[in-house]
């Protein structure tokens, strides 16, 4: 069972190329901060604009740097089923603990198509698979009923839920069982998500506040609700700022302010506006993340 704070890692670029050394430095920083798991080459890692070779290499770099200390859930999704199978196969060969497979974007499959897509991947590769349900970006929403059917497959073990529907985790728990792993994909709603049956969060904010995100989950697991509330309230403006423009634009600018990496993005994403930069900087200062 995956649980706690998992970081949806950004992919640093230098002169248009993946900055391997800085990426592994970011991974080691996460380990030092107590992050409970890592997710390379998800959409926060700009996977749609990475070549297949870059995508696979970043997965390998993460696993190399982690050295088995925490679970690695590699992004392996695509709107092509065959491509997703290929990425899932590579994740298994590289030593990932699971693959994160986003619902197919643009194709707009029916619920029957979603069921067939995920079943084909799970049948082809003997590696735990996490469904990534994010209707805000992929347009389609996997129903609880479809997820319950998929949860019967031994390789389909959980969901990253970015619906922001706080009834969903409880409904999913009832339909899929308590052992079906539920990770929030929405930082700002993580506490009520946990209260409704969730197990953790695959977080954007954890790129820049890994200690606080990890402490929040440890406090939740220990029943220290006062500490949960304190961290949650302090980080809310940061969560909000991280999505003031298309992610990962804001979090990469935050990383620049904190001296973690360059802020390069790949088109069609561009540098965030001056007003957004101010919002990000003010949020970091307010949360005590920046002097």
Q: Annotated catalytic residue: which of 92, 118, 132, 252? A: 132
Tokens of 282: 């003010």
Residue 288 CA to residue 282 CA, distance in Å, equals 10
Q: Is 160 a catalytic residue?
A: yes
Residue 192 CA to residue 102 CA, distance in Å, equals 23
Peptide bond into 248 cis (omega under 30): yes
Please provide the DSSP assignment of the chain as one string.
---EEEEE----EETTEE-HHHHHHHHHHHHHHT-SEEETTSGGGTGGGS-HHHHHHHHHHHHHHHTTSS-BEEE---SSHHHHHHHHHHHHHHT-SEEEEEPPSSS---HHHHHHHHHHHHHH--S-EEEEE-HHHHS----HHHHHHHTTSTTEEEEEE-S--TTHHHHHHHHH-TTSEEEES-GGGHHHHHHTT--EEEESGGGT-HHHHHHHHHHHHHT-HHHHHHHHHHHHHHHHHTTSSSTTHHHHHHHHHTTSS-----TT--PPPHHHHHHHHHHHHHTTS--
Q: Is 132 a catalytic residue?
A: yes
Contact assessment for residue 49 and residue 85, using Cβ atoms and an 8 Å cutoff: no
Q: Would you tell me the crossing angle of helices 111-124 and 81-94 to the nearest 10 degrees? A: 30
Q: Annotated catalytic residue: which of 3, 92, 118, 160? A: 160
Q: Which residues are catalytic?
A: 132, 160
């Amino acid at each position: 069972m995956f649980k706690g704070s998992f970081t949806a890692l950004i992919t640093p670029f230098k002169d248009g190329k993946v900055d391997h050394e800085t990426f592994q430095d970011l991974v080691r920083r996460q380990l030092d901060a107590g992050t409970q798991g890592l997710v390379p080459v998800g959409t926060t890692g700009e996977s749609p604009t990475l070549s297949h070779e870059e995508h696979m290499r970043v997965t390998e770099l993460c696993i190399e740097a982690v050295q088995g200390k925490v679970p690695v859930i590699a992004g392996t999704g695509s709107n092509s089923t065959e491509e997703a199978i290929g990425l899932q196969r590579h994740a298994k060969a590289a030593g990932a603990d699971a693959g994160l497979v986003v619902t197919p974007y643009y194709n707009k499959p029916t619920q029957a198509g979603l069921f067939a897509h995920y079943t084909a991947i799970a049948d082809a590769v003997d590696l735990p698979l996490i469904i990534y349900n994010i209707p805000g970006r992929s347009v389609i929403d996997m129903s609880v009923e479809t997820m319950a059917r998929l949860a019967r497959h031994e390789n389909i073990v959980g969901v990253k839920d970015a619906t922001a529907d706080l009834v969903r985790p409880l409904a999913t728990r009832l339909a899929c069982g308590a052992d079906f792993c539920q990770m929030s994909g929405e930082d700002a709603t993580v506490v009520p998500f946990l209260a409704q049956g969730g197990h953790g969060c695959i977080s954007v904010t954890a790129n820049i506040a890994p200690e606080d995100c990890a402490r929040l989950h440890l406090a939740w697991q220990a029943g220290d609700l006062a500490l949960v509330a304190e961290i949650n309230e302090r980080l809310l403006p940061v969560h909000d700022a991280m999505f003031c423009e298309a992610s990962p634009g804001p979090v990469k600018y935050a990383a620049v302010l904190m001296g973690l990496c360059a802020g390069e993005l790949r088109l069609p994403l561009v540098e965030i506006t001056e007003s957004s930069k101010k919002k990000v900087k003010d949020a970091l200062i307010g949360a005590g993340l920046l002097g």
